[in-house]
Amino acid sequence: MSDENIQNEEKNMQDYELGLHLIPTLEDKTQEVFDAIKASIEKVGGTVTADSNPVLIPLAYQMVKKVDSKNYKYNTASFGWIKFTTATTTIEELKEVLDLHSDILRYLLLKTTADSNTPTEDVARFLSGDDEEVSDDSDSSDEDESVTEHEDKGKDIEDEEDKNKESTQEDIDKKVDEAIDAITEESEEK
């Protein structure tokens, strides 16, 4: 490769952070799946620079994932992140791989800088509502952090009746109507 090609490739390199929720039903296989995702990043030409192993956390709201034409509900997920550097041209290929991965409940891919790290344990503790402060240091400790574990094996929607759906929809409709009324009154006053 010529010096000019190497310089062009270096200019197209970008730091990214992949935050993801893995389905909680993986149990002992969570680390294997996480390692396979890191391998996928390396396969498309990325270099993993930092990561934090997944930690089981409660979700702010119930999420649904369709697997083999069945919908499953989850109230918890294993949250982890991977920081890596790769050429900007490989991101679309990586997104395709992540989109097809059946063990990923949701992911977020962000451009970042090389020096920003927050240990997953701190994020998980914050998300679980623990009152302890999130640490400022970027070094992950090997100590076992206490995170409340929630039993959630995924429930087939077809087997479970969604009792709160109607009341939730009514609440949403009421709030939308109130917002429309407030906007209408405000515009009439002008």
pLDDT tens across the length of the chain (190 residues): 555 554 555 568 999 999 999 999 998 899 999 999 999 999 999 999 999 899 999 999 999 998 888 999 999 999 999 999 999 999 999 999 999 999 999 999 999 877 665 555 566 566 666 655 544 444 444 443 333 333 444 544 444 444 444 457 777 777 877 877 777 676 666 5
Domain holding 119: CATH number?
3.30.70.60
Whether residue 151 sits in one domain with residue 184: no
Whether residue 49 sits in one domain with residue 31: yes
First to last CA, the chain: 66
Q: 24-57 pLDDT, tens per residue?
A: 999 889 999 999 999 999 999 999 999 989 999 9
Whether residue 107 sits in one domain with residue 37: yes
Whether residue 32 sits in one domain with residue 12: yes
Claim: this prediction has a pTM higher than 0.75: no
Question: What does the alpha-carbon distance between residue 129 and residue 59 come to, in Å, rounded to a whole number?
Answer: 11
Number of domains present in the structure of the chain = 2
16: tokens are: 């990214």
Whether residue 132 sits in one domain with residue 78: yes
pLDDT of residue 32: 95
Question: What does the alpha-carbon distance between residue 100 and residue 78 come to, in Å, rounded to a whole number?
Answer: 18
Whether residue 8 sits in one domain with residue 90: yes
Whole domain around residue 11: which residue ranges? 3-159
Question: What does the alpha-carbon distance between residue 150 and residue 56 come to, in Å, rounded to a whole number?
Answer: 8
Whether residue 172 sits in one domain with residue 132: no
Q: Are 22 and 54 contacting, i.e. CB atoms less than 8 angstroms apart?
A: yes
Whether residue 99 sits in one domain with residue 62: yes
Whether residue 48 sits in one domain with residue 37: yes
Whether residue 128 sits in one domain with residue 81: yes
